[in-house]
Homo-oligomer: A and B are copies of this chain.
Amino acid sequence: MNLSRIRLIEEDGCEIRMIHFDRVEQARREVIADHELDRLSLTYKVLGDPNRLKIVMALKNVEMCVCDLAAFTGLTDSAISHQLRRLKDLALVKSRRDGRIIYYSLDDEHVKRLLTIGLEHARE
């Protein structure tokens, strides 16, 4: 196999250098759509903050309201509310209202599996 860099000049005049042209081509063929990649990375990013992750972990087994989560994490109600919104936007968490109280819980089983596998990896 040729192991020196290939120089590829694109239409726009940019020069691209690579070693394994075939692998780069394969990766390009198999790449997922930009909007999917963005949504996927946002999903991980939202779990990538310790306080948000703590919220999600707490909701693994029990429904909680904003002030419970504030008491649990030591954050203000406002901070919790901000974070829950981000978690809800990405469908990691869902909510139901019961009078003045809004109960939050995990949105689906995928989230639990994501946490379980992440933890398996982090612990090994």
Chain copies in the assembly? 2
Interface residue A71 (Cβ < 8 Å from any Cβ of B): yes
Instruction: Give the number of residues in A that approach B within 8 Å (Cβ atoms).
Output: 62
Interface residue A123 (Cβ < 8 Å from any Cβ of B): yes
Q: Is the interface of A mostly helix, strand, loop or mixed?
A: helix
Interface residue A85 (Cβ < 8 Å from any Cβ of B): no
Interface residue A96 (Cβ < 8 Å from any Cβ of B): no
Mark A residues whose CB is within 8 Å of B. Answer: 3, 5, 8, 16-20, 23-24, 26-28, 30-32, 36-50, 52-54, 57-58, 61-65, 67-68, 70-72, 91, 99, 101, 108, 110-111, 113-114, 117-124
Contact partner of A99 (CB less than 8 A), chosen from B3, B18, B53, is: B3
Contact yes or no, A50 B27, CB < 8 A: no
Closest to A3 in B: B101
